[in-house]
Structure 1
């Protein structure tokens, strides 16, 4: 019965989101040229398919490894392999995308992620490790190449800069909000209602990725980072390195992004044991969908915030980071003040679990604001010629942080892990304040 209500809530949220999206789309048809709307809709369709391929896997990666009989330590190593692969090879593929083309890199994303999904049909540990290797490369491409292609293509076609903000907001609203909710429900339906097993969502992801790849191949034009034609990989790295460490705006932007995303990806691993520390029976798929509802609402709010001429993104993002820190500090306070009532294996979610869930929903709301706002700042401050390379440089410390956290996850209590995430988010707020001061001083009087 409880799962039924979770489903009804998620379906209602999707319906309301579609109505709101339709309302804003109809309004924009009278304000923007059809050529831009067709360009944007093509990108949003592709981005949604790519994110569907990613989100369908999310709720059942851990469950699949458990299904194959692997321990928490073994699973942690598999996760580390994915983040390590992203850390080591992400910058290389990002630089190649800048030099050889973002469309080609997007197709590489499709191929590597499909390869990662296919490996899930084998229970052999080394085959699964290979799958994590492919998945790590794909993740680096997903969060850099598509954004880089969009920004370059947007300005190459001569569209207004402020229209890019709306595209960012809609991409997160759809890809990280609506699509994630539907993907969670579809994955839950395939595994639970159709009894197809935990590998079914990965097969579904393969289908979405293949469709998106076909659309990219047939409709996208190629663009690069406008780098020197004979520049080699080392020169591209050198240019990106100099851009980061010679411009404080880019350095602060990358540092706060790494700290925030390190907290976010750690949260992905930590929320399940936090809500069911004694093996309580919680509806994982439905909770995941609910958190994505919060993320979608946050992305909708971000479009309103970025549209305000009296509010700079550098200003309100300080509050976003501080509220994120407060939301993830709840498990720390519960442990410190011993507020737990004690649950039991197979029982319902406890009161402290519900309290933490409320905090987690606030955090996901902030994540929804974070993504399009960060995209806007990157579009303003990161140079076009090495955009993908710089963005993947930012992911090196991110992946390093997450690998360290996952490697030591069994050595520290969950409250300590959440405490570290809280400190990371406070650090992001501090760096955002420094970025705001630098940029504010350069505004015209």
Structure 2
């Protein structure tokens, strides 16, 4: 007589999605009504608070986030599906992430020296175009697949600095106020999270019928988006040239970074944040399935990104309204809450619903911290100049 084991499945309820969406909508819609009455009711109504060039930039940033999101959905699935050995997968990942870690800071100095972070964004789009064409033509089991991982990692490294540096420089050259830049920072985090959700929906829809066709269609979609991005960077928006010579700009960068402890501390804080996010994405799936129940990770991922969107909408309330909290205080509280949330997970195993709640709290903190650090970096850079 056989023994039947009833499989248990855990899925987030629809009310959770509705709650996150309503919170995001309420935070954005109610902010102008509680904002300083002496200013415009909407930051989008005043061109000085949110100029047209920033709107065009956000469209370009959404395309870049979508390209990043398409490849992040697969992870190492493509390698495993194509029969690549574990040793080759490990070598490719180590080479890719290691090169990104070492070369991304050097590329930041390089593009700043040659006076064009828009050129860095152009290289980012070209790298994604190359990766998409490679995946369409070359089989995944090719011995030089490490070159593909290298290109993707370099594109991710460029994505981490190029767009923020570009919008800061344009804001300074065009003489807009800091509040316009603050609006752009939190909207960048908001739009990036929304684009990642959209990328996941697109890729899962393409993979629903056939895996091979889905992978090829995802590459085609990336090629199409990359071509649009290249057109937007080259034709849509010209960057204002630097007035200082190349040697002077390079020397000023060295002085501003290595002579100011605040900039070094901001860099260290951002590095700690990125490290914690990377560790989270490695451990979140094994943690959720540890009790043996079936968990649809694809349904939980939008909740995490939605929480990050919600966290980003808190920024205008803290920095644009009547709040007396300093940015530094908000960052201390946010880092503390994120640390406590992950400490509860690390201390003892919790019910899946509790884990998802803690993970959402962690990503809400991420959504608040990323634009806050960007604002602090900008304030410090303006002070130094």
Tell me, yes or no, if the aligned pair for 1:68 and 1:123 is still in contact at 8 Å.
yes
CA distance 1:93–1:223, change in 2 (3 Å): farther
CA distance in 2, matches of 1:205, 1:22: 33
Matched with 1:218 is: 235
Kindly indicate whether residue 53 of structure 2 is the aligned counterpart of residue 53 of structure 1.
no
CA distance in 2, matches of 1:30, 1:329: 39
**By how many angstroms is 1:330 displaced?**
2.8
CA distance in 2, matches of 1:186, 1:11: 21
CA distance in 1, matches of 2:56, 2:296: 35
Output aligned runs, 1:243-282, within 5 Å. 243-277=256-290, 280-282=293-295
CA distance in 1, matches of 2:65, 2:203: 14
Question: Which of 136-145 and 291-300 deviates more?
Answer: 136-145
Matched with 1:157 is: 174
TM-score by length of 2: 0.83
CA distance in 2, matches of 1:208, 1:57: 13
**By how many angstroms is 1:28 displaced?**
2.7
**By how many angstroms is 1:105 displaced?**
1.5
**By how many angstroms is 1:79 displaced?**
2.8
Tell me, yes or no, if the aligned pair for 2:341 and 2:361 is still in contact at 8 Å.
yes
Question: Which of 97, 102, 125 is the equivalent residue of 1:110?
Answer: 125
CA distance in 2, matches of 1:27, 1:251: 37
Matched with 2:36 is: none
**By how many angstroms is 1:304 displaced?**
1.4
Tell me, yes or no, if the aligned pair for 2:104 and 2:157 is still in contact at 8 Å.
yes
Gaps of 5+ in 1: 340-350, 387-445
Question: Which of 201, 214, 217 is the equivalent residue of 1:197?
Answer: 214
**By how many angstroms is 1:157 displaced?**
1.1
**By how many angstroms is 1:119 displaced?**
3.5
CA distance in 2, matches of 1:327, 1:5: 19
Give RMSD over aligned pairs: 3.3
**By how many angstroms is 1:96 displaced?**
2.3
Matched with 1:358 is: 357
Output aligned runs, 1:89-168, within 5 Å. 89-100=103-114, 101-121=116-136, 122-124=139-141, 126-168=143-185
CA distance 1:130–1:18, change in 2 (3 Å): farther
Gaps of 5+ in 2: 1-7, 33-39
Q: Secondary structure at the match of 2:234?
A: helix
CA distance 1:209–1:9, change in 2 (3 Å): farther
CA distance in 2, matches of 1:209, 1:137: 15
**By how many angstroms is 1:147 displaced?**
0.9
**By how many angstroms is 1:379 displaced?**
0.7
Kindly indicate whether residue 368 of structure 2 is the aligned counterpart of residue 369 of structure 1.
yes
Tell me, yes or no, if the aligned pair for 2:127 and 2:152 is still in contact at 8 Å.
yes
CA distance in 2, matches of 1:155, 1:11: 39
Matched with 1:292 is: 305
Tell me, yes or no, if the aligned pair for 1:86 and 1:136 is still in contact at 8 Å.
yes
Deviations 1:354-409, CA, capped at 9 Å, x for gaps: 332222111111111011111101111136999xxxxxxxxxxxxxxxxxxxxxxx
Matched with 1:80 is: 94
Kindly indicate whether residue 341 of structure 2 is the aligned counterpart of residue 327 of structure 1.
yes
Question: Which of 317, 320, 325 is the equivalent residue of 1:311?
Answer: 325
CA distance in 2, matches of 1:305, 1:29: 15
| Aligned residue-pair number | 366
**By how many angstroms is 1:208 displaced?**
2.0
Tell me, yes or no, if the aligned pair for 2:312 and 2:367 is still in contact at 8 Å.
yes
TM-score by length of 1: 0.73
Question: Which of 113-122 and 163-172 deviates more?
Answer: 113-122
Question: Which of 11-20 and 86-95 deviates more?
Answer: 11-20
CA distance 1:40–1:194, change in 2 (3 Å): farther
Tell me, yes or no, if the aligned pair for 2:69 and 2:200 is still in contact at 8 Å.
yes
